[in-house]
Chains A and B, each alone.
Chain A
């Protein structure tokens, strides 16, 4: 779309709109006279409400005195003097006109004027604010973001009630002109990071932007690195907490998930409940989550390595049981473990994608019937099934690293199954190097876990009591010049 100015004549503008949207049945135009000046209203009926427009503007205009100065006078009057809450900036070009209409605004076109007046008369069907479905918490606020960008901003602003919360709304370079907004605390967030983020988001060019996660890939420094460059949350409270740490939150219109940048590894093991419950219990839970992550990634691979290459490391009683189980199955341990892990993933995927009414049946059939039958038939051994199931459950303890856990697990099983101890070493070092090599906007991805410091115990592996946490809140970039 070219940046052509509006036509001076009403007919010219209407002809342009007719050409652009004429085939759309939800496009609505109406000619009217205001103070003797020919005008026209244009809007999309599904996005804007004609009643709202009448109530907001047209009724008032009927009561207002006759205009002096013709069309230009009417336009100036509406923009600057009238009590009618029009948008403060006039629409001056055809691109802006199309964007305003697509955003659900009503536009008043005036004959003889190269400007148009927009009114916020949006009335879009929307999902009401509900509880988060993917981030379970016992305590704390139970609101979740929705698909409407303005609603999400208001949810955030309601939690973050200071003048330093900056919200920059931009339009992405997509075919669908999706809006996104960059939120940060101007007093806490490092300017350098915000500038770099703004620049990278502006440079993103994709055909369609349906979720905030689409941006994540563009924010990665090393495309070979599997660790995420950003975190996601559907809770305004979590987003607010991250803003208080000096981080930026990116909201995308149509997506109920906020993108948090920069994101650190330790954040995947934190949740709102950690701070609502006691420090000792929260510390214990956090350590359990780290262990669960290690189990989910390395457990099956370690089992395969021990059984296939180094049985001497297993105590004799346990070894006897494992050998008994393995002797009854036809497949080698690596293939057995891969097959069971793949099957579990298929069951999970089927349960997730299947219609809700039959998803429970899918899970039940997968877990009970196939598992039980496979063991009875001697296709898989009980220890392999136990280990694979334990690893799958452990993965769910850290849901935000689910993709990584699965990919790493398969890699570890393959490497440990093919090469034994050196294979396991290679896999472990590759994962460690990926985590160490991840540099979200120049920050240490493993902060505050590595390098080991007071911060590791303050709010890293465990968390301190609130009186200590409150002494100096963790803010990124605070120690940088």
Chain B
């Protein structure tokens, strides 16, 4: 009943799930994904854990600035991805500026950790309910005979592992949270497990739906949702889309909270809202970056973002190792 210690696990999970939902094409065969998951889940959790350890040792202004830039860049990529999806689904209905405003403005109400946590819980619940409902409505179209039975090659496994090992900032964000040791046991392991499990599950549903044509479909999940029928509303894709927009907003709010923490804000009371003074600057900055990068090829930019994240993690590891070595040498 009382908001003592709001958890951001739901917000982190939702941010990871939205990556799966907004994907424009499937990445691997579900069987390969399942096999790769066994190694990738602990791998991703391990990366996040090691990053958190090193971050505590080395968090200097340059690394903070780099992390902030990475979060800002990711926010812009998410907005561009959503805009491109909206433009494909409702051509000419929304401009980039309106998408920016519509997604970023509700963040005003998500400046407090407890608000973000509670909203993320609600949106996650709604998203899961809507996904289950969508599955039920397309259930007659799921055929076991659509499952592919060709033998898996090394390339399939590599493709699945590559997709799984896409490093999102969400795996690194818990390092920024205050009292991170109290945020629950095996947080990163649970996070990676749920995210990859959901990814594989969605791929499985899509294979049951499309069969061998699955890798060729653009916006496969959205197209599947279009087939769902209700007595009042023929199609459910608008419902899915509403929830995806909500999930992207929560993701941006999470990144904003992380940015505020990186810039040294919210030191007094963790649950106090980030000030509104710099919010217009944030909205303006995001809109400006989106406008500048509007013609960016997302198929290339998203893997590049993952590579940049990996690079940043490596840099932090090196910094952490150096700091650790320096400490030991000083002790000697």
Chain A residues within 8 Å of B, Cβ to Cβ: 222, 224-225, 305-306, 309-310, 312-315, 318, 415, 418-426, 428-430, 432-434, 436-437, 439, 442-444, 446-448, 450-452, 476-477, 479-480
**Residue in A closest to B111 when the chains form the complex, CB atoms:** A437
State A436–B121 Cα separation when bound (angstroms): 10
Question: B90 touches which one: A310, A318, A444, A480 (CB < 8 A)?
Answer: A310
- Taking CB atoms, residues of chain A closer than 8 Å to B114 are 436-437, 439
Q: Is the CB of A314 within 8 A of B234?
A: yes
Q: Is the CB of B1 within 8 A of A425?
A: no
Within 8 A of A (CB), among B78-112: 86, 89-90, 93-94, 98-99, 102-103, 105-106, 108-110, 112
Given A309-B93, A314-B234, A432-B123; A446-B2 close (CB under 8 Å): no
Asked if B238 is an interface residue, CB under 8 A from chain A, the answer is yes
Cβ contacts B233-255/A at 8 Å (1 or 0 each): 11100100111011001100000
Q: Is the CB of B234 within 8 A of A224?
A: no
Q: Is the CB of B1 within 8 A of A433?
A: no
State A20–B110 Cα separation when bound (angstroms): 53
Asked if B145 is an interface residue, CB under 8 A from chain A, the answer is no
State A418–B93 Cα separation when bound (angstroms): 9
Q: Is the CB of B106 within 8 A of A424?
A: no
- Taking CB atoms, residues of chain B closer than 8 Å to A424 are 242
Q: Measured between C-beta atoms, what is the minimum distance from B250 to chain A in Å? A: 8
State A480–B273 Cα separation when bound (angstroms): 23
State A312–B236 Cα separation when bound (angstroms): 10
Q: Is the CB of A442 within 8 A of B3?
A: yes
- Dominant secondary structure at the B interface: helix
Q: How many residues of B contact A (CB 8 A)?
A: 41
Instruction: Give the 6 A-B residue pairs with the shortest CB-CB distance, closest first.
Output: A437-B115, A425-B245, A433-B109, A436-B118, A426-B102, A425-B242
- Taking CB atoms, residues of chain B closer than 8 Å to A448 are 1
Q: Is the CB of B110 within 8 A of A433?
A: yes
- Taking CB atoms, residues of chain A closer than 8 Å to B3 are 439, 442-444
**Residue in B closest to A418 when the chains form the complex, CB atoms:** B98
Q: Is the CB of A430 within 8 A of B98?
A: no
Question: A430 touches which one: B90, B93, B99, B109 (CB < 8 A)?
Answer: B109
- Taking CB atoms, residues of chain A closer than 8 Å to B4 are 480
Asked if B231 is an interface residue, CB under 8 A from chain A, the answer is yes
Given A436-B122, A451-B121; A442-B2 close (CB under 8 Å): yes
State A428–B119 Cα separation when bound (angstroms): 11
Cβ contacts B211-246/A at 8 Å (1 or 0 each): 000000000000000000001111100100111011
State A306–B232 Cα separation when bound (angstroms): 11
Q: Is the CB of B93 within 8 A of A313?
A: no
Q: Is the CB of B1 within 8 A of A479?
A: yes
Q: Is the CB of A315 within 8 A of B119?
A: no
Q: Measured between C-beta atoms, what is the minimum distance from A423 to chain B in Å? A: 6
Given A430-B106, A436-B122; A421-B242 close (CB under 8 Å): yes
Q: Measured between C-beta atoms, what is the minimum distance from B185 to chain A in Å? A: 19
Q: Is the CB of A436 within 8 A of B119?
A: yes
Q: Is the CB of B103 within 8 A of A224?
A: no
Asked if B125 is an interface residue, CB under 8 A from chain A, the answer is yes
Q: Is the CB of A437 within 8 A of B233?
A: no
Q: Measured between C-beta atoms, what is the minimum distance from B140 to chain A in Å? A: 18
Q: Is the CB of B109 within 8 A of A309?
A: no
Given A309-B93, A310-B90, A313-B233; A426-B105 close (CB under 8 Å): yes
